[in-house]
Structure 1
Amino acid sequence: MGATKTAYFSEQQNQIATLAKALGHPARIAIIEYLIKVNECICGDIVNQLPLAQPTVSQHLKELKNAGIIKGNVEGNSICYCIDEKKISMLTKYFSKALQSAAKTKCC
């Protein structure tokens, strides 16, 4: 979808699409699961948990951070990453509401 087409959709639709796009890779899901488990960590900790090279993990962290799903705070020479609870809450509310609506809809 072209960047100019996003104007035809609501702010919420654009936000959910951005978050969903960032979640669209299994490595990013694994990173999120790990961050939920440990609460916060540095890139090196994630590299030790995944079968990916450090530059690849860094790129996935960048995508998650750009989408706002995770936050990163500088601690010395490292960045400590954690989940952004507000974004996860937004996703939870959106999908809960969508699933409740879908459950009430009769199809085929």
Structure 2
Amino acid sequence: MTDTTASLSLENPAYVERCKTHWGASLPTSMIVIEYYGHGDKAFGGIADDRPLGVSGCIFKNTVGATDQVAEFPTVEAAHEAVKLIPNRREGSILGVAPSWR
């Protein structure tokens, strides 16, 4: 992973700080972790294969027919700590959060 890619990923503390700065006083109520992998939408010939983090602590192996549930986190700091323990992250992927304000 390049330095630029690493700075965009959730395991980097700078990513956590950028999220909090971007959200300001309007912090999300929950968020999920997504592993972003590949480039371009499959519908247009791309090979992107983005997958969520499950409550098991593993990235979903396949989102079709998955038996794991998607893990939700109350803070970006909690998500940051969880990604440090992922055993099956794909090389070259970027980890991010999908926040929710509901």
**Higher RCO structure, 1 or 2 (CA under 8 Å, sep 6+):** 2
Q: Give the alignment's TM-score, normalised by structure 1.
A: 0.23
Q: Give the alignment's TM-score, normalised by structure 2.
A: 0.24
Where is the helix percentage greater, Structure 1 or Structure 2? 1
Q: Which has the larger radius of gyration?
A: 1
